[in-house]
Chain A
Amino acid sequence: MTTTLPPTITTAARAIDASKVYGEGEAAVRALDHITVEFEAGKYSAIMGPSGSGKSTLLHCLAGLDRVTSGQVFLGDLEIASMHEKELTKVRRDRIGFVFQAFNLIPTLNALENITLPMSLAGRKPDQQWLDTVIDTVGLRDRLKHRPSELSGGQQQRVAVARALASRPQIIFADEPTGNVDSRAGAEILGFMQRAVRDFGQTIVMVTHDPIAASYSDRVVILADGKIVDEIIEPTTDAVLDKMRALGA
């Protein structure tokens, strides 16, 4: 959007002149086209855009799940685009929380084990007080020993949110977190995420195509054809709808 800014502590994630190209030559598809964007710490940001706009690719690249073809990606002050797979895995484990649209949980582990999974993988003990706070916030106290197959879709997503929060990551990436649940459960989950930002100072970046979901955020970044085309601060559902309609999506 603007020219390169010096890294500041208030920036949780940044992409600088980032491009992602799939395929080669004639068949090459440019999913991200020299994007420069930053997401503030302690804020709830949303990425929107029509299908194929590159919004998921941007999220994956910021989260260290995918690599940019050129450009730089920072997580806080860490440059992650050039990291080795091993370091990157540790970054995801220790600094990032994830909420996906579906298949968020390991079926062989119970809810509590799923919540503490990243810390268990790191061999760390969770902060019990914080864990209790998170569990009570998402209202899962009486479901902790249940396996995912014994939980409803909404409950499963709440476990996923709890897992993302439990390790107090620098940033949480959410990829269509309400895509697979009914609107009531969706509103609940979005509410939890909003509280996490407002009450606990968590940073969240969320990809969504739902204007209602986007309206929970502090700022919406809109992508089209791999470029950032617009942004809305303090979005409302209608404002988002208008902008999206303007893009023909």
Chain B
Amino acid sequence: MWRVTIKYLAARKLRLLLTGIAVTLGVAFMAGTLTLTDTVQRTFDDLFANVNRGTDAVVRSKAALKSSQFGDSRPPVPESLLGQVRAVPGVAAAEGNVNVPYAQLVDSKGKAIGNPGQGAPSFGFVWSNNSKLNPFRLQPGSNPPRSDDQIVIDKKSADKGHLHVGQRTIVLSQQPSKKYTIVGIAKFGTVDSPAGASVVLYTTREAQRAAALPGKFTDISVVAAHGLSQDQVKANLQRALSSDPKIEVITGKQLTKENQDNIKKALGFFRTALLVFAAVSLLVGIFIIYNTFSIIVAQRSREMALLRAVGASRRQVLTSIVGESFAIGLIASAIGLVLGIALSTGLKQLLNVLGFDIPGGSVVVKPATVIISMLIGTIVTLLSAVLPARRAATIPPIAAMREVSFETTGHSARRSLIGALIVGVGAAILAFGLFTSPKNAISYVGFGALLVFIGVFVLGPVIAQPAARILGAPLPRLKGMTGVLARENAIRSPKRTARTAAALMIGVALVGFITIFAASAKKSFAAAITDQIKVDYIITTGRNFGGSGLSPALAERIAKLPAIEAVTPIRIGPASVNGTVTGVATVKPTAAATMFDFNFTRGSIASLTSNGVAVSKSYADKHHLSLGDPLPVKFSSGRTVPLKVEGIYKRTELAGTFLVSLDNYAKNESQQFQLDFQVFAKLKPGVSAAEGSKEITPLLKHYPTAKLQDQAQYKNEQVSSINQVLNLVYALLFLAILIALIGIANTLALSIYERTRELGLLRAVGMTRSQVRSSVRWEAAIIALFGTVLGLAIALSFGFSVFLALKNEGFSKFSAAPGQLLVIVILSAIAGVVAAIFPARRAAKLDILKAIATE
């Protein structure tokens, strides 16, 4: 029996290839993701281990706030602590560190170095004279900074900005920007810069000034005396500093672990996101393989029956099919694994291009990657073949004597019932996840969506016939007999058509959903900006993520311009309210009152004092807050301030849940959150926009990252930033669509093989080759359109459900994106036609004589 399996595999190389590709691509995606993240993780693990090698302990304050969004906030420690630390027995050396959250280098042409729009962040640190504690290594010809106007910069920024030792350059910080002399260029360990960030290294005093932390350190690094372990020196330090409960001590190893874990967390998100898309590709692959094996079993039923007739047992027939799928799964997974590993290097390059620098290092292929990829690929293939194999095993020996049996039509009340039931349960779980916001809501939504897909897949054959008839209705008029044949062929095997279309349905549903979601988000966002902001200028950094913003000095300088009536920045930082760490936003109340309309139901922006907080209406309702109620807020400085509710507002798109006054925020949030996210400005009455710009533009020369926009430009930029995310998701879903198209090609190829005789006859009685090709192409187009229409129907219902669920959270407008959906329909019809190119050519090249020869 095994020999039969192997013979079959060898004889059907093409089929094998097409079936295998469905698995290979999904596995490659998965293996590529795992390899990439493992490689990046290992590289950073090594980097941190290397960088922190000389640090035996770190003394710092305990985290005031821990937030996954903003990171841990630790208040600085006083300079005087350094003396205490140095005096502790077992401490050989100690240095105070100052992290400057924003230190943007400017090149000789006055442009900000790097890509402030989306690149890695820019930091500043103290140049440590203790080589054990200093991860930076000076390059030849460099000196450490000796005075407050001297700096050392990282090699990457130096190369990028064409900066060299001896040159003078501007560095932007939270303080007014200042010119420095570059005295040195340094590498971070062995790499040019830490993860591509740009780094400025100052003297201690200058770093304190730039970070607005005079007389303070971020933390203190310690080198233990010879022969003393990290744990011993940590114990000594803890004992000596125990009087201050806000201080904590960790070992160098713990620091390394912390650094590595941070990377792991960031990578984990990235990894999960990519794996979700890999899973989608594999899911589509399952549908394809299931379909292929179903067709193969139907085509070989006579042969199976013959095997049974000559004495093969049911089990043997089953084993032969399962064996075939096992071999395909194994080979395809192995190829996918190799492909994925190769792909990971490509992805790494892509990340580099995006500005997320990953230091060089060899590719890490963990055994787990190999095992998981091989296992999942093979199991997926096996599972998809089990049902068809069982069907093959039930073929009675007598079938050998009959004509080749065609598949049943797929109409059955039981099928309709089961399909509808699965869709119903899936929709219910989906709705539960969306509307009751349980824990792990995403899992409910995902599982519900999966069930809906499976339900529609089960229902597919029932609706395939009428749907294909409707979709193909214009064909006879357009293409005559060619069109009739295309439509009839698409209808003749509803199960096959439905299964093929279902694979495409998944990809299209996801693309459609994302499109609708993005269109609605854009519409809602645009409406929010139009409704809630009335300003003349908005100054942004064009940065969507990363730790920096605009120097507060800029807003202050703009406020002093004669043309300007009012200016307010927006800043966002972490705060703990009622035990939950969340974001808190700030504006200058008097200025903001003339610019924003957050729809206050109680109080107003203008009346917001430094002792008050305004909260969103939904939060107020949930916590039964009304005007004047106390609401203590713990800020990142560690201070808990007894604020009172001074306003309640409805619109949260820009303001978020909590709004405090700027002086309150400036006093209580840590320095690292004191950068302006955006600055809003309003002109004096009667001043033209041109006059205003004339005054503001020269100022911006000193702030190369700042970008001046009017409200319309701002709206366009904010809305189009959604497109970037959208394009990324499209790119990731492309693979699933590609696999589905391969599925269409595969089904058609198998169908054409089965219709050899019929095609021969058609050719004999006068069908031209181009008519044959056209007929196959239109058949593919109908199948593709069927899958697309199903997918878009699902997309619309998902999209609308999500809209309803998020309606009160800023998702105020729904857009079905009819234009884009129409484009999707047209594109998928074209894609179907493209998928049909190869099968159509095969059909057209068919040898008439061989086809019609009767024995």
Give residues in A with beta carbon < 8 Å to B. 60, 65-66, 85-86, 89-90, 92-94, 98, 100-109, 113, 117-118, 120-123, 163, 176, 179
Would you call A120 and B854 a contact (CB within 8 A)? no
Chain A residues in 8 Å Cβ range of B168: none
Closest to A86 in B: B768
Residue of A85, A113, A118, A163 near B484 (CB, 8 A) is A113
Would you call B848 and A65 a contact (CB within 8 A)? yes
Would you call B768 and A100 a contact (CB within 8 A)? no
Would you call B849 and A108 a contact (CB within 8 A)? no
Would you call A102 and B854 a contact (CB within 8 A)? yes
In B488-513, which residues have CB < 8 Å from any A CB? 488-489, 491-492
Report the bound CA distance from A165 to B137 in whole Å.
94
27 contacts between A and B (CB under 8 A): A65-B849, A85-B769, A86-B769, A89-B763, A89-B767, A90-B766, A90-B768, A92-B766, A93-B765, A93-B766, A98-B764, A101-B854, A102-B854, A103-B758, A106-B485, A106-B762, A107-B758, A108-B489, A108-B491, A118-B766, A120-B481, A121-B480, A121-B481, A121-B766, A121-B771, A123-B481, A163-B765
Would you call B480 and A120 a contact (CB within 8 A)? yes
Chain A residues in 8 Å Cβ range of B768: 86, 89-90, 93, 121
Would you call B758 and A106 a contact (CB within 8 A)? yes
Report the bound CA distance from A108 to B486 in whole Å.
10
Interface membership of chain B positions 228-255, coded 1 if the CB is closer than 8 angstroms to chain A and 0 otherwise: 0000000000000000000000000000
Would you call B765 and A117 a contact (CB within 8 A)? yes
Would you call A120 and B484 a contact (CB within 8 A)? yes
Report the bound CA distance from A124 to B433 in whole Å.
59
Q: A86-B768, A89-B763, A93-B765 are in contact. Are A103 and B852 (CB under 8 A)?
A: yes
Chain A residues in 8 Å Cβ range of B766: 89-90, 92-94, 118, 121-122
Would you call B481 and A117 a contact (CB within 8 A)? yes
Would you call B854 and A118 a contact (CB within 8 A)? no
Would you call B492 and A108 a contact (CB within 8 A)? yes
Chain B residues in 8 Å Cβ range of A104: 761
Chain B residues in 8 Å Cβ range of A66: 849
Report the bound CA distance from A93 to B769 in whole Å.
12
Which 10 pairs from chain A and chain B are nearest by CB? A93-B766, A108-B488, A120-B481, A103-B757, A89-B768, A118-B766, A92-B766, A101-B854, A118-B765, A121-B481
Chain B, interface residues (CB within 8 Å), range: 20 to 34
Residue of A103, A121, A163 near B767 (CB, 8 A) is A121
Report the bound CA distance from A122 to B768 in whole Å.
9
Would you call B765 and A121 a contact (CB within 8 A)? yes
Q: A100-B854, A108-B489, A109-B488 are in contact. Are A60 and B849 (CB under 8 A)?
A: yes
Report the bound CA distance from A176 to B854 in whole Å.
10
Q: Which of B481, B488, B765, B768 counts the most chain A CB atoms within 10 A?
A: B765
Would you call B764 and A65 a contact (CB within 8 A)? yes
Q: Which of A102, A106, A163, A176 counts the most chain B CB atoms within 10 A?
A: A106
B851 to chain A, nearest CB (A): 9
Report the bound CA distance from A77 to B509 in whole Å.
59
Chain A residues in 8 Å Cβ range of B757: 103
Interface membership of chain B positions 467-491, coded 1 if the CB is closer than 8 angstroms to chain A and 0 otherwise: 0000000000000111011001101
In B672-718, which residues have CB < 8 Å from any A CB? none
Closest to B758 in A: A106
B135 to chain A, nearest CB (A): 74
Report the bound CA distance from A85 to B772 in whole Å.
14
Interface membership of chain B positions 512-551, coded 1 if the CB is closer than 8 angstroms to chain A and 0 otherwise: 0000000000000000000000000000000000000000
Chain A residues in 8 Å Cβ range of B489: 108
Q: A103-B758, A106-B758 are in contact. List 16 more A-B contacts (CB 8 A).
A: A65-B848, A65-B849, A86-B768, A90-B768, A92-B764, A93-B767, A103-B852, A105-B761, A108-B489, A108-B492, A113-B484, A120-B480, A121-B480, A121-B481, A123-B480, A123-B481
A94 to chain B, nearest CB (A): 7
Report the bound CA distance from A104 to B760 in whole Å.
10
Would you call A89 and B854 a contact (CB within 8 A)? no
Chain A residues in 8 Å Cβ range of B767: 89, 93, 121
Chain A residues in 8 Å Cβ range of B485: 106, 108-109
Chain A residues in 8 Å Cβ range of B769: 85-86, 89
Closest to B480 in A: A123
Report the bound CA distance from A156 to B854 in whole Å.
16
Chain B residues in 8 Å Cβ range of A179: 854
Report the bound CA distance from A128 to B297 in whole Å.
45
